[in-house]
Amino acid sequence: MKAFSFLLNNDREEKPRTSGLTMVLDKGLGLETAESLMKISSHYVDYLKLGWGTSVVHEQDIISKKVEMYQSFNVNVYTGGTLFELAYMNNKLDEFFEEAHNLGFKTIEISDGSINIEHNNKLECIELACDNGFEVLSEVGKKNPIKDKELSIDERVELMKSEKEAGSSKIIVEAREGGKNIGIYDESGNAKEDEIDYIMNNFDNNQILWEAPNKDQQVFFILKCGPNVNLGNISTEDITSLETLRRGLRGDTLGKL
């Protein structure tokens, strides 16, 4: 039984959830540290991304053990999109899929944030990954703010729709780790509500995973969409913090949900 359980709002769906998903960013945690974190926080983590290309600089057996450990806590662990882009750029997709399978990954992220991929080719990669037995999360947006701003909101939505149709289970809205001056956030990290409304009018909320690395962004989405909004790029340090925001256990959302 949780401490002070009589004060806990229990309106959150149990895992495996279909909404209110939390995606956490692992930037290179050690196995023991990660396992300790899961023992206290795994109930509040649905997806966990081994960030960008961090997997490449660690030994296979460590990555395999981390994947197995996360999955033992019913956490869906997956490879960062930059790793896919590296494989695509080097014509190593077959080897990439094989290695991902061998390491135990069941999900991968497909993105084109750092390199240019013709969109039809990206859609083919999504379909190919699905054919190889992976769940696919695809990300729309560029990591370079100048290039990202070249995407109009209409173009962004059309890209998202086509990637969903190609087989992506969730579409990630790019915001990077910092959450400023990119995608749906301005230079100060404030949400562009008109653009967010436009995206929401075109999708079921459960199909979208909003990257919201900063607390103010998490509060914005929780107050706007409710506690069961899908949020991603959450730091390992903020797992509990986000869950308390979702439950109305922090001043920012207390009495407002």
Q: What is the pLDDT of residue 11?
A: 78
- Cα distances (Å, whole numbers) of residue 140 to 28, 135, 181: 24, 17, 15
Q: What is the pLDDT of residue 179?
A: 82
Of 205, 152, 148, residue with least CA distance to 176: 148
Predicted model pTM: 0.95
Beta-bridge partner residues of 191: 185
Write out the two tokens for 47: 């997806």
Q: What is the pLDDT of residue 42?
A: 98
Low-confidence ranges of the chain (pLDDT < 70): 10
State whether residue 163 is helix, strand or coil. Answer: helix
Q: What is the pLDDT of residue 9?
A: 76
Q: What is the pLDDT of residue 52?
A: 84
Q: From its phi and psi, is residue 52 left (phi > 0), alpha (psi between -120 and 50) or beta?
A: left
Terminal CA-CA length for the chain: 24
Q: What is the pLDDT of residue 67?
A: 98
